[in-house]
Amino acid sequence: MNLNLRGSSHILQMNLNLRGSSHILQMNLNLRAGVPTFYR
């Protein structure tokens, strides 16, 4: 039970992190995509 709770809590944190980081990842992708335009 303890292992399952710890495991599921970790998965929940992962989901929350993915939701929060998805916005950050999009920002990073935009920055990476925009980098060549800065050098041009």
Q: CA–CA separation, 15 vs 23, rounded Å?
A: 13
Q: CA–CA separation, 20 vs 37, rounded Å?
A: 27
Question: What pTM, to 2 d.p., does this model score?
Answer: 0.29
User: How does pLDDT run across 1-40, given as a tens digit for each residue?
Assistant: 566 666 677 777 777 766 766 666 677 777 777 666 655 5
User: Residue 25: what pLDDT?
Assistant: 67
Q: CA–CA separation, 9 vs 15, rounded Å?
A: 10
DSSP letter assigned to residue 26:
H
DSSP letter assigned to residue 21:
H
